[in-house]
Amino acid sequence: MLIGILALQGAVDPHGEKLKNLGIESRLVKHPKDLTGLAGMILPGGESSTMLHLLKLRGLWDDLKLFVSEKPCWGLCAGAILLANEVTSPNQDSLKAMDIGIVRNAYGRQNESFVSPLKPSSDWMDLESIEGVFIRAPKIKRTGSQVKTLFTFEGEPVMVQEGNKLASTFHPELSESNKLHQYFVKLCQESL
């Protein structure tokens, strides 16, 4: 099984390492042809406006939009912004693959980056809290009726799932645990 990692900009390499630790092969996605044969795809953190610009510039936009509408995908931070149906602060175009509304840079300047334990919801598989690394993170402000919350921080959703799509506003690739990558790998295996 081959999992793609969108590699236009941002925190790309740590995801490849995580997948390697789990015995899963990955491919960096930079051009439309790189999408062929992938079981799923990670859209990493970085700067969503830059990614948006590069996606359109490289002619990846339409093919990626189709891919994310069908296959398992996990958007992290800027990647979650790309997957959301609505993006505000400021308004921004997106792939509209998940029924969530997201607000960019929502934790404000004084609190741009921080680490905190995250609380699992009853929809997550165990009760252990996990570490959340937040870097100029967005907030998920609206979740549609089919969207499950997996983890919260201060009562607000920070990781959600809708069918075979995941969105998280923090960076598990920068924490020690492989648990969330394992969960995504399972989603990809189930959809083969």
Binding site for ligand GLN (CB under 6 A): 45-48, 77-78, 81, 104-105, 135-136, 138
- Shortest CB 104 distance to ligand GLN, Å: 4
> CA–CA separation, 157 vs 99, rounded Å?
13
> CA–CA separation, 96 vs 68, rounded Å?
9
Q: Output 39 or 107, the one with its CB closest to ligand GLN.
A: 107
- Shortest CB 89 distance to ligand GLN, Å: 9
> CA–CA separation, 180 vs 108, rounded Å?
26
Q: Output 16 or 46, the one with its CB closest to ligand GLN.
A: 46
- Shortest CB 191 distance to ligand GLN, Å: 25
Q: Output 161 or 169, the one with its CB closest to ligand GLN.
A: 169
**Given 73, 162, 171, 181, the catalytic residue:** 171
Q: Which candidate, 131, 138, 137, places its Cα nearest to that of 115?
A: 131
**Given 77, 162, 181, 188, the catalytic residue:** 77
Handedness of CA 191, 38, 101, 94 (dihedral sign): negative
Q: Output 39 or 172, the one with its CB closest to ligand GLN.
A: 172
Peptide bond into 90 cis (omega under 30): yes
Residue 131 is encoded by which pair of tokens?
Answer: 């570490």
Burial status of residue 43 (CB atoms within 10 A of its CB: 0-12, 13-18, 19 or more): buried
Give the gyration radius of the chain's Cα atoms: 15
- 171 given a catalytic annotation: yes
- Shortest CB 45 distance to ligand GLN, Å: 3
In 71-171, alpha helices (H)? 78-83
- 77 given a catalytic annotation: yes
- 188 given a catalytic annotation: no
Active-site residue set? 77, 171, 173
